[in-house]
Structure 1
Amino acid sequence: MLTDPLFYLVAIPALLIMGISKGGLGGGLGIVSVPLMSLVIAPTQAAAIMLPILCVMDGFALWGFRGQYDKPNLRTILPAAILGIGVGAATYSYLSDSHIRLMVGLIALVFSLNWLYHRMRGNNPAAKAPNRIKGWVFGAISGFTSFSVHSGGPPLDMYLLPQRLPKGVFVGTTIIFFAVANYTKLIPYAWMGLLDTTNLMTSLSLIILAPIGVRLGMLLHHRLSDGWFYWLCYCLLLVAGIKLSVDGASALWAARF
């Protein structure tokens, strides 16, 4: 297992943020976790160490939001996510994480800024109904980006947030979605050798953070009204978009020189 104290100094808050996000905020804030850990280890190793912990977090979150989900949406986005994971695994050695981060970040920025613009002007667009085509598109993109950089939250938010689901149903739906996605990702991660002894032992040493983070997220979730919940989700989506765009563009720019 990793023994560098600096790694744990960064990994502990990163994983607590992920747990809080997964346990009550729809997963949006967790976008910062892999980039934080990537400050001290390689991004691929950060993603591999996080995956088993995410699977444990999913178990606690599923129990906490049991019975709260939107079945019609899940029927569409779950098969799409598995397709996206398959594409991600097949193209993993050909695509740059930087390109993926930039693409998802720009889409998230446009989406969140458009919502904030209309809200500040006093517009309140009607809730949108589930759409199978959009569900397949955003579900597949979410599965694809989740596989490579654990950044599936923004694409999924772009599909679910406009529907204005009750906050418990929204979070419960995202939890089921990412639980299926994360457990599915174990297969290609193991096949590619990313779940080696070092990474697994490091994950095991940090596993106690899973229930702590999820519990903190659930406590926060129950203290937010629906209005504040959606404001926070869109703001987190905006922050995630900025973070992904800056990371992706900076890496691509640096690669030119």
Structure 2
Amino acid sequence: MPELAWWAWLLLAVAAAIVGLSKTAVPGAGTVAVAIFAAVLPAKQSTGTLLLLLIVADLFAVTMYRRHANWRELLRLAPAVVAGVLVGVVFLWFADDVWVKRTIGVILFAVIAITLLRRRFASGVDLARPHRVAAATYGTLGGFTTMVANAAGPVMSMYFLAARFPVKEFLGTAAWLFAIVNLFKVPFSIGLGIITVPGLLLDAMLVPVVIAAALAGRWIADRLDQKGFERLVIVFTIVGATYLLVS
């Protein structure tokens, strides 16, 4: 078991709760968990440790929202996401922790800016059917960011917001996307040495927190209106991106 101070365990428990909530109530909040794990653990090791907690939360998200997924959109995104994951594998092989953090932070801010501008000035465009170029761009960035830092939640959240998905369809599509992608990442993470035995032991301690938060998230999601939901997604995305840039 990793030797950590009490405050480090407290922060990790908070991050584990955020993981559960991000999968079942507030997508984008997961970036805050990424930031906390990277602050407490070495950045690359934190990626592997957090991945397994995300997979646990994915199981609950898929169970809760399995009937609400937009499979047509998932199939549109799939090739780009796979390509992005493979690029992320190569990047992780060569990049150090500092480069990983800075790169993800810049990407997230760019995505936020583009999405907000698009929604402001393109209100006449049918955003319920995003262009193939947008799917390819967001999908590639999502695959890349999920591989190098488990930070694709905000990237794909911006895409789903642009598509004007209702809350449940948003959560269901995101649940299936990340459940599949996170499992796809496991062999690469083992090969890169970022899934470790100490990380597995730490995960075993934090899994109950993830489960409790995931169950609470369903109750919260049922009470969020569309505007409040979208604002929370954007705020958490900005907070997480800021930390990755300045930490």
Structure 1 and Structure 2 fold alike (TM over 0.5): yes
Instruction: Give the match for residue 12 of structure 1.
Output: 13
Whether contact under 8 Å (1:70, 1:169) holds in the other structure is yes
**CA gap 1:243/1:196 in 2 versus in 1, 3 angstroms:** closer
Whether contact under 8 Å (2:17, 2:209) holds in the other structure is yes
Is 1:44 matched with 2:47?
Answer: no
CA deviation after TM superposition for structure 1 residue 20, in Å: 0.6
Whether contact under 8 Å (2:109, 2:238) holds in the other structure is no
Matches within 5 A, 1:133-172: 133-172=133-172
**CA gap 1:234/1:106 in 2 versus in 1, 3 angstroms:** closer
CA deviation after TM superposition for structure 1 residue 114, in Å: 3.3
RMSD over aligned Cα atoms: 2.2
Distance in 2 (alpha carbons) for counterparts of 1:125 and 1:230:
19
Matches within 5 A, 1:15-26: 15-25=16-26
Amino acid at match of 2:114: F
Amino acid at match of 2:103: I
Whether contact under 8 Å (1:109, 1:242) holds in the other structure is no
Distance in 1 (alpha carbons) for counterparts of 2:141 and 2:105:
13
Distance in 2 (alpha carbons) for counterparts of 1:28 and 1:148:
16
CA deviation after TM superposition for structure 1 residue 126, in Å: 5.5
Distance in 1 (alpha carbons) for counterparts of 2:184 and 2:91:
16
CA deviation after TM superposition for structure 1 residue 124, in Å: 5.7
Instruction: Give the match for residue 105 of structure 2.
Output: 102
CA deviation after TM superposition for structure 1 residue 11, in Å: 0.4
Residue number among 89, 109, 114 corresponding to 1:111 in the alignment: 114
Instruction: Give the match for residue 221 of structure 2.
Output: 221
Amino acid at match of 1:72: R
**CA gap 1:98/1:51 in 2 versus in 1, 3 angstroms:** closer
Matches within 5 A, 1:179-198: 179-198=179-198
Whether contact under 8 Å (1:7, 1:37) holds in the other structure is no
Amino acid at match of 1:36: I
Secondary structure of 1:108's partner? Answer: helix
Amino acid at match of 2:78: L
CA deviation after TM superposition for structure 1 residue 127, in Å: 4.8
Instruction: Give the match for residue 28 of structure 2.
Output: 28
CA deviation after TM superposition for structure 1 residue 161, in Å: 0.8
Secondary structure of 1:74's partner? Answer: helix
**CA gap 1:72/1:158 in 2 versus in 1, 3 angstroms:** same
Distance in 1 (alpha carbons) for counterparts of 2:123 and 2:230:
13
Identity of aligned residues (%): 24
Distance in 2 (alpha carbons) for counterparts of 1:244 and 1:112:
20
Instruction: Give the match for residue 74 of structure 2.
Output: 74
Distance in 1 (alpha carbons) for counterparts of 2:243 and 2:116:
14
Structure 1 residue runs without a partner (length 5+) = 248-257
CA deviation after TM superposition for structure 1 residue 59, in Å: 0.5
**CA gap 1:71/1:125 in 2 versus in 1, 3 angstroms:** same
Amino acid at match of 2:17: L
- How many correspondences in the alignment? 242
Whether contact under 8 Å (2:105, 2:245) holds in the other structure is yes
Structure 2 residue runs without a partner (length 5+) = none
Secondary structure of 2:66's partner? Answer: coil
The structure whose residues are more often helix, as a share, is: 2
Distance in 1 (alpha carbons) for counterparts of 2:197 and 2:244:
30
Secondary structure of 1:16's partner? Answer: helix
